[in-house]
Amino acid sequence: MARKKGIDEIDIKIIKRLLRNSRTSFAEIAEECNVSTLTIRNRYNRLKKEGIIKGSTVIATEEGIRGVEGIVDSGIMVNNQRVDQFIKHVHSLFQNKIHWCLPIKFNQRYNVSVTVLAKGIQEVQEIKDALVQHPDVISIDVSIWTAIRNMPQNLNLKPL
């Protein structure tokens, strides 16, 4: 791999623009940066050669495919004698949703995992409330996964 020279403001603009849309033309980026298309092409090639840019890919999201904004992932401790009944209850709660419910022995903390796709933050709260209200639930931890990752506005890039 070539010796890294670091990145500057123009490199940052190139990276952020391509993260928003990897099919953006070099001409468009050049216009935004007030440099030539050749300059953008050369910088792009250098960024690839240095391993700063690995390539581009299409990313399909649940939001785009199914209209969901997040995935609710719950680790739940349920009364050990009632795990099967709880799982049946969860299946009935989410019969019209895409979900997975598996009895899993993660550790002493959880014995059931429930994952449900949610259309918005309100639905996330409704899902959590529906799970936590069951009388056999001892404790519940909820994680929310969203498509907000690797977004240009979330990157704290600075010239090196």
pLDDT tens-digit series, residues 73-114: 888 899 888 888 888 888 888 777 665 555 555 567 788 888
DSSP 81: G
Question: What's the pLDDT at 146?
Answer: 67
Burial 12-46 (b: 16+ CB within 10 A, else e): bbbbebbbeeeeeebeebbeebebeeebbeebbeb
pLDDT value at 53 more than 70: yes
Q: Is 52 exposed, middle or buried (0-12, 13-18, 19+ CB in 10 A)?
A: middle
Question: What's the pLDDT at 112?
Answer: 86
pLDDT value at 155 more than 60: no
What's the fold here for domain 62-146? Alpha-Beta Plaits (3.30.70)
Question: What's the pLDDT at 147?
Answer: 56
Q: Which two tokens stand for residue 99?
A: 């979900």
In the chain, which segments carry CATH 3.30.70.920?
Answer: 62-146
Question: What's the pLDDT at 67?
Answer: 62
Residue indicated by tokens 């931890």: 141
The verdict on domain 9-59 having CATH code 3.40.50.300 is no
In the chain, which segments carry CATH 1.10.10.10?
Answer: 9-59
DSSP 3-state percent helix, strand, coil across the chain (nearest 5)? 40, 20, 40
How much is the mean pLDDT over the chain?
Answer: 78
